[in-house]
Amino acid sequence: MIAIENISKIFKTKSGTVVGVDNVSLTIEKGEIYGIVGYSGAGKSTLIRCINVLERPTTGKVIIDGVDLLSLSDKALRQERQSIGMIFQGFYLVSSKTVFDNIAFALKAAGMEKRKRKERVLELLELVGLSDKVDHYPAQLSGGQKQRVSIARALANNPKVLLCDEATSALDPSTTKSILKLLKKINQELGITIVIITHEMEVVKEICDRCAVMQDGKVIEEGQSYDIFAEPTKPLTKQFIKSVLDFELPQKLVEACTGTLVQLQFRGNLASEAVVSDMLQKHKVSGNILHGKVEYIKETPLGIFIMELNGEQSEIDGAIRYLEDRIQQVEVIQ
Ligand SMILES: Nc1ncnc2c1ncn2[C@@H]1O[C@H](COP(=O)(O)OP(=O)(O)O)[C@@H](O)[C@H]1O
Ligand SMILES: [Mg+2]
């Protein structure tokens, strides 16, 4: 439903030109939660701002539900933007307005009459779990509550897309989780397509169906989040994944090992113990689990185990072949 075609954005500055986004093409499906990951300066914000044409790309096309946004008149573009909500790391609430007025303002701007506005604001506050804060001012709210208000405001005019630029980056881990849970609910219950920019792989792990990794203005890797976690190909992607799935063994432990170290990756179903115990029964090796971790990538498990195998080399080779036939990824690490 969102098609970004060969988007580039080149900034002209006093000291020369800066490439913000470099020939990016992406398709984001209706109802999907899509993550865009990268370090600071990778071009994420510039790209997401091109989606609602807050930034006009130097070249390329942005097509939402068949409408080519860059070909629209200013008036038609303003109208089309109503269907795209956006939230930011810094919330951008108006500090002199109450929670109610911060949200009602968006409805007023869209021309909704007063009585309807009140009804809608209360409905939105209920959705984001802030019904008791209707008359509070932003300064009286926590970071998580402020972000909830900005989500309510972004959803006020029933958008079909919600763009989130580092929406959880200023929040602590448990508040981040609660905001991600709210975004998931909004996606599931209202069917809103969500595009999330983040430098935190945890965010992708929690809620993104698919994701893209950006570096130097380019998308360097893209796919189902699960596949990216299970089998990252680019060094930068591997680095991001490591922040969540870190499984480096302590050097001392590695040095003390006399046998063969194998790393096993289990995807989807975790019938891991059965495979490992069968392997131990069928081959004359002893196995010692040194490390095990299971992460859930948007509810689907991904497990990593490191085992030390001891025994005759031919038995160990046989055991490894047995595992290779049954497990997605088996790697001899020492
Ligand atoms: N308005 C601007 N003028 C000049 N350069 C910009 C502007 N906006 C962004 N850039 C540059 O574009 C690149 C990408 O920035 P940005 O999209 O903000 O990255 P990210 O959101 O991934 O941190 C950076 O090198 C940044 O300095
Ligand atoms: Mg940014």
Residues 305-323 pLDDT 10s = 899 999 999 999 999 999 9
Give residue 273's pLDDT: 65
- Residue 177: the pLDDT is 97
User: What are the E-state strand segments in the chain?
Assistant: 2-13, 16-28, 33-37, 59-64, 67-68, 84-88, 161-165, 193-198, 210-215, 218-224, 260-267, 285-297, 300-311, 329-332
Q: In this structure, which residue's CA is closest to atom 2 in ligand 1? A: 11
Identify the pLDDT of residue 267: 87
pLDDT at 70 over 80: yes
**CA-to-CA dists, residue 66 to 26, 47, 80, 310, angstroms:** 15, 19, 12, 61
pLDDT at 107: 94
**Quick one: which H or E segment has residue 281?**
helix 272-282
Taking CB atoms within 8 Å and a gap of at least 24, the contacts of 89-93 are 89/165, 89/166, 89/167, 89/169, 89/170, 90/170, 91/138, 91/143, 91/146, 91/147, 91/149, 91/150, 92/150, 93/138, 93/146, 93/149, 93/150, 93/153
Tell me if 226 sits within 8 A of 266, measured CB to CB. Answer: no
- Residue 309 has a pLDDT of 94
Which amino acid residue places its CA nearest to atom 16 of ligand 1? 43
Q: With bands split at pLDDT 50, 70 and 90, how would you rate the model's confidence at 272?
A: low
Measured distance CA(97)–CA(291) in Å, rounded: 53
Ligand 1: distance of its center to the CA of 38 in Å?
A: 12
User: For 252-268, how does the pLDDT look when each residue is reduced to its tens digit (9 = 90+)?
Assistant: 888 888 899 999 988 88
Strands 33-37 and 193-198: parallel
Phi, psi of 9 (to 5 degrees): -135, 115
- Residue 293's pLDDT band (cuts 50, 70, 90): confident
pLDDT digits (tens, 9 = 90+) for 8-39: 999 999 999 999 999 999 999 999 999 999 99
CB distance 119 to 155 below 8 Å: no
Q: How remote is the CA of residue 70 from the centroid of ligand 2, in Å? A: 22
Rg of the chain in Å (alpha carbons): 24
Q: What percent of the chain has pLDDT over 90?
A: 82
The answer to whether the CB of 49 is under 6 A from ligand 1 is: no
DSSP, collapsed to helix, strand or coil, labels residue 219 as: strand
Q: What is the pLDDT of residues 216-230, one digit of tens each?
A: 999 999 999 999 999
Q: What is the Cα–Cα distance from 13 to 11, expressed in whole angstroms?
A: 6
Residue intervals of the chain classified under CATH 3.40.50.300 are 2-242
Burial class (CB in 10 A: 0-12, 13-18, 19+), 102: buried
What's the CA-to-centroid distance between 91 and ligand 2, angstroms?
14
Note residues around ion ligand 2 (Cβ under 5 angstroms): 45
What pLDDT is recorded for position 225?
97
Whether 15 is in the pocket of ligand 1, judged by its Cβ within 6 Å, is no
Architecture of domain 251-332: 2-Layer Sandwich (3.30)
| C-alpha 139 to ligand 2 mean position (Å) | 24
Q: Whose CA is nearest to atom 14 of ligand 1?
A: 43
The answer to whether the CB of 218 is under 6 A from ligand 1 is no
Ligand 1 in contact with 8 (CB < 6 A)? Answer: no
> Tell me: the pLDDT tens digits for 77-135?
999 999 999 999 999 999 999 999 999 999 998 889 999 999 999 999 999 999 999 99
pLDDT interval class at 299 (50, 70, 90): confident
All CATH 3.30.70.260 domain ranges in the chain, comma separated: 251-332
User: How many CA atoms does the CB half-sphere of 327 hold within 13 Å?
Assistant: 28
In this prediction, residue 292 carries a pLDDT of 87
> Helix (H) and strand (E) counts for the chain?
12, 14
Q: How far is the CA of 11 from the centre of ligand 1 (A)?
A: 8
Reading the block at residue 263, the tokens are 């790393």
Contact at 8 Å (CB) between 31 and 191?
yes
Domain topology for 2-242: Rossmann fold (3.40.50)
What is the sign, positive or negative, of the torsion defined by CA atoms of 52, 53, 54, 59?
positive
Q: What is the mean pLDDT of residues 143-166?
A: 97
**Residue 271, pLDDT above cutoff 70:** no
Instruction: Please report the pLDDT score of residue 2 as a whole number.
Output: 97
Burial of 135 (0-12, 13-18, 19+ CB in 10 A): exposed
Chain mean pLDDT for the chain: 94
pTM of the model: 0.92
* Nearest ligand, measured from the Cα of 212: 1
**Cross-strand pairs, 213:** 37, 221
CA angle 297/302/308 to nearest 5° reads: 150
Question: Could you read off the pLDDT of 179-199 as tens digits, one per residue?
Answer: 999 999 999 999 999 999 999
Helix (H) or strand (E) holding 155: helix 143-155
pLDDT range class, residue 246, cuts 50, 70, 90: confident
